Amino acid sequence: MQQTWRWFGPDDPVTLADARQAGATGIVTALHQRNRGEAWPLDDVLARKAEIEAAALTWSVVESIAVPESIKTRTGDFRQRIDAYKASIRTVAAAGVKVLCWNFMAITDWTRTDLMWRLPSGGYALRFDKVDFAAFDALVLKRPGAEDEHGSDLMRRARAWLATMPEGRMAEIERNLIDWVPARETIYDRASFQRQLDVYKDLTAEGLRQHLFAFLREIVPVAEEVGARLAIHPDDPPFPLFGLPRVVSTAFDARELLEAIDSPANGLTLCTGSYGANPANDLVAMATELGPRIHFAHLRNTTREADGSFTEAEHLDGDTDMIGVVGALLYEEERRTREGRADAIIPMRPDHGHLLSTDIGRKSNPGYSCIGRLKGLAELRGVMRTLEHQRSRTGQQGRPSHS
């Protein structure tokens, strides 16, 4: 697999030089200053590509050309925004960047309640806490129907926690939930967030799924035309938030999406952390079954709790069999090579990372500090090298087996 690194552009405190020193050869980035649904200018794309190549790296994956809310809801200027999206696909492909990671999450993008969860080691992790979320959703935002959705036990715990919560903690939870994500199309306050929720109030999961399929029917032919590969990222977390529908959360969802628009250009980002936060998903089985349509991999791990809360774990710990996933992806690369596929090599990146050592106290995007990701990439590289070495020594053919 090609080892890549997420970079948020020239303002990212973690530099291209840091990425290269971590051992990455590819960069995953976007024109984050153009994330409001406009078409990307070729000059801007070429300038970004030149900046990456000047650091002796390759722009391997676009992540992401943002999908405006109007496209997801098919309201307002959605037709104009779809045309702009098609133009951006053509532009990045003309510049030689052919893998596009994107998502169809309603409003929130990826969501955590805690961006600085203290670990026993002294480092910090990202965390989603169901009690924190229920306290904000039902008792602060006061979303209609929220209490019934969360259930009596969770609401009892949420009320008790809100009554004893340290001063300032709820404001922090609110900021984490609705207004911080880097490169999001829109930054919300409570009032604007509620207005956007109102736009979705009559849109069911099946309705959003059909909007997703309708969008794919428009953009997949463009990707086919220019030789691009679309890789949809799953919902994160992989369950409904704020009453909003989720339609890319399970193996079933992924299978339905691939079957609905059956084209090699329509594929997946296998995010082991996002899918892995749902205990119903078997990531090794998904990597094996869906491997031919996996165009990109985010490799990270989570430790789940009984109530649905989860904490981002070490890359090789947590509830996902990361060694099994890597083995399945390496087998898929071998299979593609035997078929003569031009896209035999799957780009991967260490997704997120703990905040560690001298990075603590330094400015960075949550989950995207340097040392934690460097550590994760080194661990994943070790797994890949070991599996490749074992297979080369034994001449093993067929699917890998791992204990």
Q: Indicate which residue of 150, 233, 315, 354 is catalytic.
A: 233
pLDDT value for 403: 40
Instruction: Please indicate whether residue 368 is annotated as part of the active site.
Output: yes
pLDDT value for 109: 87
pLDDT value for 179: 81
Q: Average pLDDT, stretch 351-376?
A: 97
pLDDT value for 184: 65
- Cβ atoms of 299 and 380 within 8 Å: the answer is yes
Instruction: Please indicate whether residue 211 is annotated as part of the active site.
Output: no
> For 345-357, how does the pLDDT look when each residue is reduced to its tens digit (9 = 90+)?
999 999 999 999 9
> And the tokens for 22?
């971590």
Instruction: Please indicate whether residue 298 is annotated as part of the active site.
Output: yes
Which of residues 185 and 279 earns the better pLDDT score?
279
> For 235-252, how does the pLDDT look when each residue is reduced to its tens digit (9 = 90+)?
999 999 999 999 999 999
Q: How many residues would you count in the chain? A: 403
Instruction: Please indicate whether residue 402 is annotated as part of the active site.
Output: no
What percent of the chain shows pLDDT beyond 90?
92
Tell me the pTM: 0.95
Calpha distance 138→381 (Å, rounded): 43
- Provide the angle, in degrees to the nearest 10, between the axes of the packed helices 205-226 and 78-94: 40
> 367 falls in which pLDDT band (50, 70, 90)?
very high
> 62 falls in which pLDDT band (50, 70, 90)?
very high
Residue 402 has pLDDT above 90, yes or no: no
Calpha distance 60→100 (Å, rounded): 9
Instruction: Please indicate whether residue 359 is annotated as part of the active site.
Output: no
Q: Indicate which residue of 352, 354, 359, 370 is catalytic.
A: 352
Task: Find the range with the poorest average confidence among 33-37, 149-153, 250-254, 337-341.
Answer: 33-37
Q: Indicate which residue of 132, 235, 321, 351 is catalytic.
A: 351
Q: Indicate which residue of 32, 114, 368, 370 is catalytic.
A: 368
